[in-house]
């Protein structure tokens, strides 16, 4: 396993991390807790030292499972979690949930209890949609929590360039979590150059495009009810992207699966610190970990990817 600096945070992270959304059990189809724990245990054995979770994953269940794995070896694992989506941002009266720094602190304290620790290595503001009324509360709270040592580094999880610049207006942004993959290269336009210029760490979610880039889906694939991908088969973009994946199969080989190709592509960008594919089983984790090698991809492979799935396509 290769390691990289997480921007200016002072943290050294494995370039392949563990994304813990799926193990929450509420968004990615059936998952067993024992298998989830075994997957994280295997990740640590393989040198993966970065686990990313959030309070909203399984309504806290993902954090509780992470706690079981890091117990007794907290100093060996870099843990990030996120707050900001719980309660859809508003209470029953319509008041923003996180309109004061104190509420952000309460959210982190709840996460710390579930994680069984007194600090996280990275705490992210978890932005999904427009939420301007809460932005300043998060900026203030994150600075306080970092100063107190509750979070060693702070960041924002968003694909919105304007949000990123706003959060970094005082130079206090350590890390950004964003979506980036062969099939979604929008971040290459403005965001990744900006983050690289400012020394901000980059955590990539969705490097496998929610499993699409593993090559295991077809036009006939169906997803169970409650799976975030259940509506995909009816979408035109889904069929288009399946075609792109088929075109890229020529780059598969004995030492490279489609999934590993996708992860190596993400890691080939100089701004990237780590990619966090999900893993429900030890076998999936092992396949992801094997993406960490040198060299990553050849110039010829990168050229084929550019021709098949050009930048700024979305």
Residues acting as catalytic residues: 57
Q: In the numeric block, which tokens belong to residue 22?
A: 């799926």
Q: In the numeric block, which tokens belong to residue 6?
A: 């997480």
Q: Are the beta carbons of 266 and 207 closer than 8 angstroms?
A: yes
- Torsion over CA of 285, 287, 289 and 293, rounded to 10 degrees? 180
Residue 84 burial (10 A CB sphere; 0-12, 13-18, 19+): buried
> Which helix or strand (DSSP H or E) is residue 126 part of?
strand 120-126
Q: Are the beta carbons of 14 and 47 closer than 8 angstroms?
A: yes
Number of neighbours of residue 208 by Cβ within 10 angstroms: 24
Q: What is the Cα gyration radius of the chain?
A: 19
């Amino acid at each position: 396993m290769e390691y990289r600096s997480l921007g200016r945070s002072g943290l050294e992270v494995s370039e392949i991390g563990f994304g813990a959304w799926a193990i929450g059990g509420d968004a990615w189809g059936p998952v067993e807790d024992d298998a989830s724990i075994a997957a994280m245990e295997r990740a640590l054995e393989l040198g993966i030292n970065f686990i990313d979770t959030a309070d909203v994953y399984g309504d806290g269940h993902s954090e509780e499972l992470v706690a079981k794995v890091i117990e007794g070896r907290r100093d060996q694992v870099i843990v990030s979690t996120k707050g900001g989506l719980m309660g859809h941002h508003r209470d029953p009266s319509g008041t923003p949930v996180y309109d004061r720094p104190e509420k952000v602190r309460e959210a982190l304290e709840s996460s710390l209890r579930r994680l069984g620790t007194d600090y996280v290595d990275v705490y992210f503001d978890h932005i999904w949609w427009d939420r301007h009324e809460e932005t300043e509360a998060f900026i203030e709270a994150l600075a306080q929590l970092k100063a107190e040592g509750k979070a060693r580094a702070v960041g924002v999880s968003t694909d919105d360039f304007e949000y990123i610049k706003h959060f970094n207006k005082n130079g206090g942004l350590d890390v950004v979590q964003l979506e980036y993959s062969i099939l979604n290269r929008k971040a290459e336009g403005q965001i990744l150059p900006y983050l690289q210029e400012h020394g901000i760490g980059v955590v990539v979610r969705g490097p496998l495009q929610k499993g699409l880039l593993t090559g295991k889906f077809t036009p006939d694939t169906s997803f169970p009810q409650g799976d975030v991908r259940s509506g995909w088969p009816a979408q035109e973009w889904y069929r288009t992207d399946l075609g792109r994946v088929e075109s890229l199969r020529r780059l598969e080989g004995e030492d490279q699966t489609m999934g590993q190709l996708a992860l190596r592509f993400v890691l080939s960008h100089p701004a990237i610190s780590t990619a966090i594919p999900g893993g429900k089983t030890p076998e999936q984790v092992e396949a992801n970990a094997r993406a960490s090698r040198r060299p990553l991809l050849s110039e010829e492979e990168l050229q084929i990817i550019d021709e098949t799935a050009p930048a700024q396509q979305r």
